[in-house]
Structure 1
Amino acid sequence: MVDEGDAAPDFTAPLADGDVTQFTLSDRLDEAPLVLAFFPGAFTGTCTHEMETFEDRLDEFGDLGATVYGVSVDTPFALNAFREDSGLTFGMLSDTNRRIVDAYDLAMDFASLGVDDVAKRAVVVVDGEGAVRYEWVAGDPGIEPDYDEVRDAVAALD
């Protein structure tokens, strides 16, 4: 796992934002702080609730100058369908090749379900210099982040 103060590993991935384009972290630092909300899978109960909660609080993050992105191993096409179905307006990063979850050391298996190598539920905040300024990783994929804590971490960057 990357730690606070580390340089955020750079990556390029498909961005599902109603269309499918490319996203490169180092090219988006002008949108910082960047809130990268990793989640195991689209269309699942806890993940849907988490992403909808970020949507409900999107104005709070926007007022702080932050940009929120969801990150999962789902395809960009599934993520666009998920965005539409859940009424999400922020972009989703598709990590089907698992390069992001590997670089951030956030891969996990749902052995009981026979599903391997999905993203752990985690939140990473990256500042405009490309440094990790906040990181949280769920010990249990059924636990959602403390949204106030994430907001406060973003607010502390001013």
Structure 2
Amino acid sequence: MVDFDVVELPEADHVAEGEAAPDFTRPLVGEEYWTDTALSDIDGPVALVFFPMDGAFPATYIWNEIRDREWGRGPSDHVTVVGVSVSTPYEHKTFLEERGMDYELFSDPGAGVAELYGVVHDLDGMTGVREHRPAVFLLDDEHAVEYAWVASEWPDFPDYDEVESHIERL
């Protein structure tokens, strides 16, 4: 039995396929440390995964699926997978440790990156509290958007098989 309401989200005016991915600089958190990093500093194709704050069940579900499918590993090792959420670097570090993940996550507490990409979500009943809609943007070598999926309801999750087929083509 579902113990939450599914909420339809307003249409998102997000970055679309064929457009250049907006560049940004935020703390990029890994297993050991974090440092301010620009998206443009990441070479090659990128899977940019927006997700709600760490600890929310959609974040856990999304990253467990990505980890278990080994995106950016094995046959898809030509793609760098990075996440973006409103969580702080400290929260990201804990999240990575708890999930046993060796991915890196951008910290975007003000949701400015989500706003750039058109995937910011104002939480109902919480004035001034915003988070990221679940979204996946696959960027080619030049960081042009080759594939874009953005949640249209909450909670919503990408079709992981479809994303993988696009990753294979990058």
Fold shared, TM-score > 0.5 on shorter chain: yes
1:63 paired residue number = 75
- 5+ unaligned residues in a row in structure 2: which ranges? 1-13
Task: Provide the C-alpha distance between the structure 1 equivalents of 2:127 and 2:47, rounded to a whole number of angstroms.
Answer: 30
Aligned mate of 1:4, from 14, 17, 28:
17
Q: How does 1:1-158 map to 2 (within 5 A)?
A: 1-18=14-31, 19-28=33-42, 30=43, 32-58=44-70, 62-64=74-76, 65-112=78-125, 116-157=129-170
Contact 1:75 1:95 in 2 (8 A): yes
**Which entry has the higher C-alpha Rg, 1 or 2?**
2
* Alpha-carbon displacement from aligned partner over 1:120-145 (angstroms, at most 9, x marks no partner): 11001111111011100011131111
Q: Which amino acid aligns with 1:22?
A: D
Q: What SS class does the counterpart of residue 13 from structure 1 fall into?
A: strand
List 4+ stretches of structure 1 deviating above 6 A.
none
| Percent of residue pairs identical | 37
| Alignment CA distance shift 1:140-1:62 (3 Å) | farther
Aligned residues: 155
Task: Provide the C-alpha distance between the structure 2 equivalents of 1:70 and 1:33, rounded to a whole number of angstroms.
Answer: 14
| Alignment CA distance shift 1:60-1:72 (3 Å) | closer
Contact 2:50 2:133 in 1 (8 A): yes
CA shift for structure 1 position 59: 5.1
Task: Provide the C-alpha distance between the structure 2 equivalents of 1:35 and 1:20, rounded to a whole number of angstroms.
Answer: 19
CA shift for structure 1 position 115: 6.8
- 5+ unaligned residues in a row in structure 1: which ranges? none
* Alpha-carbon displacement from aligned partner over 1:47-82 (angstroms, at most 9, x marks no partner): 101111101112565522111111101101101111
CA shift for structure 1 position 21: 1.3
TM-score normalized with structure 2 length: 0.85
